[in-house]
Structures are given as structure tokens and as C-alpha cells.
Structure 1
């Protein structure tokens, strides 16, 4: 189905025509191609996989928002007899690509749920440019409200996972754009109008290489040496933001470059920020650590040496797997120490 897309040619440096005369207005090679007639192509660069039950993990897909037919994939460890923390996870992909069904996320979150002892809800949100921000933030908020309802009604349909879940011990997490979503959803949940989450209780945020930006370039954006097969470069980053932000906005928009101050951040729970040493986002992530701490938020940071963006799902470096194990250990300690 062709979807109408708002397009502002002033924002675009990549307009070109393909061999059929269709105007391609945005493209990240191998991931997404956007045409001005509303056609969007997302090549199947990563296979989608169904939920599967393993000896130590049960996973199933559930609808959490009927009006938009949004779903999530829930992972439950089979080995624990105790109620477990709840980790709500948002996948990366520049707000424009990716899925909770992508094999790389399914494998990572299956392992994560088993190794650190959590129930994981992996949220499949609407993608840009068909659904520009704040659509993904709205979807994240709907996911949390659905969880709140599940905690209150205790339905038989969801008993397979809800009975294992400690709803008063909830964490929001995600990588790259997903970490941006987790951050902005947490801000909305802690606003004056939405501060009553009971029986849910948000205990912390785990932001993995969070995707933020700005019009002015940081040192790591300009000069960092990217590992081979890096998941993010500066050109792709700019393209993602053009597709995701409201038409006519630039990268100083608060969804891209948040306005940190004590008034809107003091209520945030503890935050763990996971940073890749060779990521172009490194300086943005380090800055976020500093300004959140200055605003009174308890912040823990971990820097993973020798790896680039999305190392934990791409395994594109000999160091990826040991660094991923390190990150899972840090996530486990953070969750179980809150």
C-alpha cells in the first residue's frame, strides 16, 4: 500500500531519480529507500523470525494497542520460581527500520532474559517516515499503559507471563533510537499529568548507545575512526533524523537534542548509559551522562572499548561477544541493585 509522506525538499540533499524516473528523496543503502510518491522500500537485510519456546525461555507475540495493531514480543525465563523484574525494550534503527521480530534482536533479548533474570517486553513501534515522531513515543506510552492494565486485571490470557512478573520493578531500555524512545517515554511517564503508574513502578533506565544529535558536530562525530561494517555513520545519522523529525525541523529539535534541566529531569529514576568507544555518538552519550548528573539524576556509565555502534546485536568485531557479555553483566547488576 502506498502511504502519503510529508516531504520538505529544503531538508534534503539526496534527491535523485532512479532508472524508472521515480524521485528518490532519501536512501540509506541496503536499509531504506524513500520516494516522493510515498513508496518506501526496506530490503530484508535482517531476517524476521517467529517467537519460539526454548528449554530456558518462552516467547510469544501479543497485541498491546488494537487501534494501530501494535504488538510486542515477550520473553519469560522458565527457570525462575520467583517474580522477576520487567524490562521494556525498544529496538534501534534510526526510528525508520528494524523490528522486534528481527533475528538479531530476538537472539539478543532471549539471551538477555535468560542470563540476567528478567521478563522482557520488546515493543514493535511504528516507523518513520510514514509515522514521524512523536508516533514512536506515543506507541511506547501505549505499551506502558497496556502493562498497567495487565497488572490490574490479571487476565488469564496473559497469565503465562504476567504471573512471573514483578510489575513494581520495571525498567525501560533500548539501543540507539530505541534508547531515545525509552528516554522520552520516561519523561512523559514522569510528567505532571501521567505520574500515577501504580501498580507499575519505574525503577530505572538502561540506555544503550542512545541516539541523539544536534546541528553542531561533536568531536566523535567529526573524527572518530569507524570500525569496518559500522552500523552508523554521520551521513546515515543525518538521514535518519530527516526522516524521523517533524517536517521543517532541524537536529536542534528537543526530540533530537533534549533540553536538559533540573525541572524535567529531577524525577527520572537511576540511569545506566552504555557507550561504545568507537561510536560517533560517544561524545553525545558522555554529554548526556554529565548533564543528567548535574540535574540530580543518579547516572552510571559504562564505556566498551574497541567496539562501535550496535556491537551487541551485529557481532561485527572479534570484541563484540565479550563486550556484550560485559554489558549484560552491567545490566544485571544495575537492575538487581535498584
Structure 2
């Protein structure tokens, strides 16, 4: 099982003859004044091969060759599902909008198992990254991925999508990917044929200029993948230049942000990690959505930190990861 090892994040950057470094998250990303971006290979990439005993098949598909938008599709291959339509889950990986890939081994393993446990087809979107492509590029890619999915579902040219029940479409993601899922859902809510049935937000990455209690006081857990400093850096790299963390894409309660109740209330699941600095923001969003009448299921996972589902190289994370998959299955199939 591939995992992210936090100790690996001290990986040395190559010595390059570039201008001074202006932004850096140790071991993950370094941005130079001339615009050059370095991302060391801290996480291995995986091909779309899946062991046959897992009863899941995966393929990579091109969505838009001009923006290099592609996705990895996971489809249960167990014979018992061949006669029935399956829910479809469009998934966006985490990484602060700046790092990560649908081919990262940790996500490949997680989503292979999620497809197997939940018995749904998963479309893992490889969206454009900041700072080369600042927001809203990732949101645009998310909308385009859903449009492509609907079109391909109607045409029936992708075998792995032929058993999709497009009336049972869910958007999901973790961390920055959850932020993308939220904003894509808001964009699609006014289009009835594209509107998702529900949204799954796993440790959603939001922020604001003001700090929450958990951001100020929660000690950084040894197995948590996000620090407050890294969070601030991601936002500086992802938001429009000179924007603050009170930009509507960062702060869902800011002036100009999509109305929580407008125009459609999705059933929503919010997965919170107890040791995550984003814990209070996650609870705040879940409470606000419930306050305007949305059906919200909030689950807190004890004794684990941010991105525990891909940091499953320790026993507690593995246990909580299994719990979360069971909860996701229940939410999707309820």
C-alpha cells in the first residue's frame, strides 16, 4: 500500500540556476521569482494497473487535450454488479491546489479501494495546478470533467462508464479537492441535468484572514499533513495575485461567495479529522449548511490528522480510513 511519508518531505530540491526563491513549502514545492516551479517527486506515481483480486479496473482518459485535462476511471469488475447501474463519484485530489496528481500512488490505492467498498464508478480528475494555473482553473476543469462525463455517458463510448447511473452523481474531494468539489457543485446547481445528487467534503480546505481556535491552538500532529504556514502559502499561490484569504474562493462566508442556500441544497457529508488545524472551519461550514436547510452528515475521526486517508502508514489511520469508507458507502447508497 503506497503512502505519503512525512519524513520524505525533506527531499532535497535540485540545484538549479534560477532566480531567488519567493515561496516554498519544504519538500513539496518551490517557486522562483522568474516563475519557475519545482515539485520534487516526494510521492511515487502509479500506472492504472489494479491487481485482479481487487475486482476493480482502471483506465486513464483524456478529457481536454488543450488544457491537458485527464482523469483516471475506477470501475468495479465484480460479476454481481454487471446487471445493475452504479452511482458515479467525481473525485478531486488534495494538495493545496499546488501539488498532487490523479496518478499519485496514495490516491490510486485509496480510490481503488473506495470503488471496491462503495460499489461505485469513480472518476478521479487530474486538474491544472497553481501557481502556473491559479484559481479558477481547477474549478473550470472540474465543471468540464462533469460535462465530459455526461456527454460520454450518453454516447456510451467508454466501456467503464456504460454502467454509470448519471442520475446518481456525487462530487467529492479531500482538502483542496473538497474545496473544488464544493465550488463545482455550486456552479452546476443551476443546471438540472448536471446537478449532483450529493457532495462529499473530506477535510475541506477553506480559510479566512481571521484565525479559528483550532488554527491558533491545535498542536501540529505528527501524522498531519498540513501546517498553518503551509496553508497560508498554498492560498498565496492559488488565489488571484494580491487576493487575501477573505476571497470568496477561500472563505465561503465572504462577501461575493456563493450563497449557501442558492439555488439548490445538496445533501452533504463533511469528514473531519480531530487533529486537523482545519477542524473548526469544517464544523463551521457543516453547521452553516445545516442552518439553511441542507441535509448534512458530519463525521469526526478521532486521533488522526489532515489527510489521514493517504497517510495510512500507521495503525490508527488505517482503522479510521476503513471507517470512513464504510461511512461514504452508506452516504452514497442511502
**TM-score normalised by the chain length of structure 2:** 0.90
Q: Select the residue among 235, 245, 248 that pairs with 1:251.
A: 245
1:23 aligned onto 2:44: no
Could you tell me how far 1:179 is from its partner in structure 2? 0.1
Could you tell me how far 1:320 is from its partner in structure 2? 0.2
Q: Show the counterpart of 2:94.
A: 92
CA 1:263–1:238 in structure 2 vs 1: closer, same or farther (change >3 Å)? closer
Alpha-carbon RMSD across the aligned residues, in angstroms, is 1.6
User: Structure 1: where are the runs of 5+ without partners?
Assistant: 1-17
Q: Is the 2:189–2:263 contact (alpha carbons within 8 Å) kept by the matching residues of 1?
A: no
Q: Is the 1:265–1:295 contact (alpha carbons within 8 Å) kept by the matching residues of 2?
A: no
Could you tell me how far 1:85 is from its partner in structure 2? 0.4
Partners of 1:53 and 1:22 lie apart in 2 by 42
Q: Show the counterpart of 2:200.
A: 206
Partners of 1:95 and 1:218 lie apart in 2 by 21
Partners of 2:77 and 2:17 lie apart in 1 by 53
Partners of 1:185 and 1:179 lie apart in 2 by 10
1:1-338 paired onto structure 2 within 5 Å: 22-55=19-52, 56-79=55-78, 80-81=81-82, 82-155=84-157, 158=158, 160-191=159-190, 195-197=191-193, 200=194, 202-259=196-253, 264-265=261-262, 267-337=264-334
**TM-score normalised by the chain length of structure 1:** 0.89
Aligned residues: 312
Report SS of the residue matched to 1:115: helix
User: Structure 2: where are the runs of 5+ without partners?
Assistant: 1-14
Q: Is the 2:261–2:289 contact (alpha carbons within 8 Å) kept by the matching residues of 1?
A: no
CA 1:151–1:201 in structure 2 vs 1: closer, same or farther (change >3 Å)? farther
Q: Is the 1:307–1:317 contact (alpha carbons within 8 Å) kept by the matching residues of 2?
A: no
Partners of 1:229 and 1:287 lie apart in 2 by 24
Q: Is the 1:174–1:207 contact (alpha carbons within 8 Å) kept by the matching residues of 2?
A: yes
Report SS of the residue matched to 2:58: strand
Could you tell me how far 1:237 is from its partner in structure 2? 0.2
Report SS of the residue matched to 2:289: helix
Could you tell me how far 1:230 is from its partner in structure 2? 2.2
Moved more, 279-288 or 217-226: 217-226
